[in-house]
Structure formats: structure tokens, C-alpha cells
């Protein structure tokens, strides 16, 4: 298992001249760093045990990327509560944000969109 699902990585790069524009996404990227560490270290110990696709941790990565640290964490918590032995499971993708205005790096972090 890779640290991030394929849908959660992009080709954008962070540029130093975007420092001020990057400040609002710092909490989002801190949570994404924690989720990436979890997916690299702890998640492989459990294997594929999630009833849903993508797994709960992959869902959390997508939710935080699309909706931010607070709403993404709330969506992830709701997903974890629904993931139990009595659920039927299935495909449950993160609903994309209607006005997502950021790009994703190759490591899954969120950076401001560049127009050039």
C-alpha cells in the first residue's frame, strides 16, 4: 500500500513567492502530514480490513484535501463511525468541494493554484 491514494497526488510545486498565499492551508497540510505518517507506519499493520473503498485513511486524506482540516476531520470521523462489522460497505468516495481552488503536490500536500 502506498502512503497516498493515486487520486490524492498531483504535479504542482510549492514556490517560495507563494508563502503568504500558503498560510491558510497550513492546518490542512499539518493534518495531511499526520495522515501520511499513519498510512506509512500504522495502516500496513492492519492490512485491508475496511468495509469501504477507498479505505478510511484514504478517505480521510481526500476529505482533508478537499474540505480542509476541520470539515475533513468531521467527515472522516463520520466515515469511521459508519465503518463497523454490521455495515454493508461498498464504494464511498469523498464528494469534491464545489469551489476547490488549490493544487496538489506529488506528496499530497495542498498548495495555492498558480495561473502561470
* Residue 101 in grid coordinates: 481552488
Q: Which of 16-20, 49-53, 77-81, 112-116 has the lowest mean pLDDT?
A: 112-116
For residue 66, give the nearest of 42, 93, 88 by alpha carbon: 93
pLDDT at 1: 43
- CA dihedral 21→26→28→34, nearest 10 degrees, is 150
Q: Are 32 and 73 in contact (CB under 8 A)?
A: no
Q: What is the pLDDT of residue 116?
A: 58
Determine the pLDDT at residue 20: 86
pLDDT for 77-111, tens place per residue?
A: 999 999 888 888 888 889 888 888 888 888 889 98
Q: What is the pTM of this model?
A: 0.87
- Average pLDDT in the 42-55 region? 85
**Rg of the chain, C-alpha, whole Å:** 15
Helix, strand, coil shares of the chain as percentages rounded to 5? Answer: 50, 10, 40
**Average pLDDT along the chain:** 86
Q: What is the pLDDT of residue 29?
A: 94
* Residue 62 or 7, more confident: 62
- The C-alpha cell at 25 is 492551508
Amino acid at each position: 500500500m502506498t502512503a497516498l491514494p493515486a487520486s490524492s497526488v498531483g504535479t504542482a510545486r510549492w514556490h517560495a513567492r507563494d508563502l503568504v498565499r500558503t498560510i491558510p492551508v497550513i492546518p490542512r497540510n499539518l493534518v495531511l502530514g499526520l495522515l501520511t505518517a499513519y498510512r506509512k507506519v500504522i495502516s500496513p499493520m492492519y492490512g485491508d480490513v475496511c468495509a469501504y473503498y477507498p479505505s478510511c485513511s484514504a478517505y480521510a486524506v481526500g476529505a482533508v484535501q478537499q474540505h480542509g482540516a476541520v470539515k475533513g476531520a468531521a467527515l472522516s470521523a463520520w466515515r469511521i463511525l459508519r465503518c463497523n462489522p454490521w455495515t454493508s460497505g461498498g464504494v464511498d468516495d469523498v464528494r469534491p468541494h464545489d469551489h476547490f481552488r488549490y493544487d496538489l503536490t506529488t506528496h499530497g500536500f495542498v498548495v495555492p493554484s498558480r495561473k502561470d
